[in-house]
Amino acid sequence: MIEYHTCFEVERIDLEVFRHLCEEVALEAARDRLFHRFQSSNRLAPAPISQVRFDARTRNLSIQSFHTFPDECAIVRTQSLIDLKPAAVKG
Mean pLDDT, contiguous 10-residue spans, the chain (91 residues): 94 93 82 84 86 91 94 95 82 61
91 in a structural domain: no
Q: In what order do the strands lie in the sheet with 60-69?
A: 2-12, 74-84, 60-69, 49-56, 34-37
pTM (2 d.p.): 0.80
Return the pLDDT at 89: 67
The residues with which 53 forms a beta bridge, in sequence order, are 64
Return the pLDDT at 30: 65
79 in a structural domain: yes
72 in a structural domain: yes
Return the pLDDT at 3: 93
Pure H helices in 1-91: 15-27
Number of domains in the chain: 1
Q: Find the domain containing 23 and state its range.
A: 2-84
61 in a structural domain: yes
Return the pLDDT at 42: 80
